[in-house]
Amino acid sequence: FGEKYQEESLRAVPAGRLLLETDESGVPIMELYRRASEVRGIPLDRFMEDMQENIDKVFFKR
């Protein structure tokens, strides 16, 4: 997901399959993380942990 998305879609994606990106956006990634954690109803620190796990799985095979 990027800067623009449907909140319902963001809530529907399992945490283990979710990634956010800023490739074509001027919005800082931390702002997207903050918004998404609010939409999903979880604390920002938990959301950031989930994102780091997904990044590690996809890009670093950890």
39-57 pLDDT, tens per residue? 999 999 999 999 999 999 9
Q: What percent of the chain has pLDDT over 70?
A: 98
Tally of structural domains, the chain: 1
Host domain of residue 19 = 7-59
Residue 2 is assigned to a structural domain of this protein:
no
**Domain assignment of residue 1, yes or no:** no
How does 38-61 read in b/e, with b if 16+ C-beta sit within 10 Å? ebbeeeeeebeebbeebeeeeeee
Q: Is residue 29 assigned to a domain?
A: yes
